[in-house]
Structure formats: structure tokens, C-alpha cells
């Protein structure tokens, strides 16, 4: 899944909850619903190329809504700015 056109199939949409909004402000993290088959490396490449940022760490979990990726950005990039571009607000 390294084809650039597939990155839109990896990141489905932002996942917004009260907890994710708190993590965005305090910990510079955003959550996305992603393709269930996507690996962490594929998610990292998709997020970095879509939002022109650097990812520090990715955690994933499977929930009823699908696969959720919690993405922590490097200190050079603001999760709030990226969240604005991702349609969180």
C-alpha cells in the first residue's frame, strides 16, 4: 500500500471524542479511524504525506467503529493545526 493514491483509503476520518480533544490539547495527539488492514508504518506515511508533518509515535486499537490510530506528532507540529486541516473543528 505504498501508492500515494491509497493514502486516502488508509485514513478514513478523524475520530473525535472528549478524551481525544483533551489529548490533542495536552499531549499533541490526534485520533483517526483507519483501514483495518493498514500497518503502523503505512498509517505513518499516510498521515505525514497528507498533512505535511512528522509523526513521533502511533498506537492502534480495534474497537466497534473499526481500527483507531492514535498519532502523536513531534513538537515541531501542532495537533490543533493538523486537526483543523483534518476537519476536527
Q: Which positions ≥6 away from 38 have C-beta within 8 Å?
A: 1, 10, 46, 67, 69
Domains and CATH numbers, the chain: 4-86 (3.30.70.330)
Q: Per residue in 4-23, pLDDT tens?
A: 555 568 999 999 999 999 99
Q: Which positions ≥6 away from 71 have C-beta within 8 Å?
A: 29, 30, 31, 32, 43, 47, 55, 57, 58
Residue 28 scores a pLDDT above 60 = yes
Parallel, antiparallel or unpaired: strands 29-34 and 66-73: antiparallel
Phi-psi region of 52 (alpha: psi -120 to 50; beta: other; left: phi over 0): left
Q: What is the pLDDT of residue 8?
A: 63
Q: Per residue in 33-56, pLDDT tens?
A: 999 999 999 999 999 999 999 999
* SS3 (DSSP) at 22: helix
Q: What is the pLDDT of residue 4?
A: 58
Mean per-residue pLDDT, 61-67:
94
Amino acid at each position: 500500500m505504498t501508492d500515494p493514491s491509497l493514502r486516502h483509503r488508509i485514513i478514513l476520518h478523524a475520530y473525535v471524542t472528549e478524551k481525544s480533544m483533551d489529548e490533542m490539547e495536552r499531549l499533541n495527539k490526534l485520533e483517526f479511524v483507519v483501514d483495518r488492514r493498514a500497518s503502523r508504518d503505512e498509517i505513518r506515511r499516510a498521515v505525514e504525506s497528507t498533512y505535511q508533518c512528522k509523526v513521533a509515535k502511533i498506537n492502534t486499537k480495534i474497537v466497534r467503529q473499526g481500527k483507531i490510530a492514535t498519532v502523536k506528532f513531534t513538537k515541531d507540529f501542532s495537533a490543533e493545526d493538523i486537526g483543523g486541516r483534518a476537519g476536527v473543528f
